[in-house]
Amino acid sequence: MDYKDIERSIIKKFRKDIWCKFTKAVRDYELIQENDNIMVCISGGKDSFLLAKCIQELQRHSKIKFDAHYVVMNPGYTDANKEMIIKNAEILNIKVEMFESNIFDVVASVDRSPCYLCAKMRRGYLYDKAKSIGCNKIALGHHFDDVIETTLLSMLYGSEVRTMMPKLKSTNFEGLELIRPLYLVKEESIKKFRDYNNLTFLNCACKFTEHCSTKEEDSKRLEMKKLIKELKKTNDNVDHNIFKALDNVNLNCVLGTKVNGEYKSFLSDYDK
């Protein structure tokens, strides 16, 4: 399929489920503003490649003028995975810049929490790259399901109510902001977009878990996916309700809150 047909499918075929939700997130959360210089991060998966195409379309159709740079960080991909990313960029007509890092080599020497270290190092490299090319924002391809799963993970395994925010200012890199324009787009819609256009993307590019390229890694996040799927059997709106609950917190009915690391119990104001 020609890349122009793929672009048309975003605007027409998937207008309601992808394009409108993408533009709604950009508008409602004020993610992109005039003269922004955005580094769009492409990992090789379906989410980041769709994000790149949506950003391209927004540049063409929006009255807001901004610049975008499409960047791939190579943490040590296998040759096959690297070639697949380059091929997909060509198919989708995305001019990407790939830069090297040694993250996989470093992580290989760590016995505990390799995934945590990998994620932390990736973020650092991306922020450094964004600063070096003069960007003020970094766009990542997290979607609606990521938000819900992160919320449940925090509650069930982290003992706190927190979620993945649509945008976040960097505390270590002044002037840089992370944005998530696919915040309202469901993963199911992204999969339908992929299949409709006969596209094949990496599911996981980690060379230590190469089986992930064809099968999702068995993890706590997958556990959350299964849990939500099970809950939706009796309440089809359960994911939307979880999302809405995060935008509708009744502070009169919680035991305690935390702001900037400082905890406050409901007892603090109980007798006032």
Per-residue confidence (pLDDT) for residue 77, from 0 to 100? 83
Task: For the sheet with 96-100, list strands across it.
Answer: 96-100, 67-74, 37-41, 137-139, 177-179, 167-169
Q: How much is the pLDDT for 214?
A: 38
The pLDDT, as a whole number, for residue 26 is 98
How many CB atoms within 10 Å of residue 131?
17
Query: Could you give the domains of the chain?
Result: 3-269 (3.40.50.620)
Residues whose CB falls within 8 Å of the CB of residue 242, separated by 6 or more in sequence, listed in order: 148, 151, 152
Min mean pLDDT across 109-113, 116-120, 176-180, 267-271 is at 109-113
Model confidence at 70: pLDDT above 70: yes
Q: What global pTM score does this model have?
A: 0.90
pLDDT of residue 204: 64
For the ranges 68-72, 73-77, 130-134, 149-153, the lowest mean pLDDT is seen at 73-77
What's the pLDDT band for 123 if we cut at 50, 70, 90? Answer: confident
| Section 115-129 average pLDDT | 77
Residue percentage of the chain with pLDDT more than 90: 75
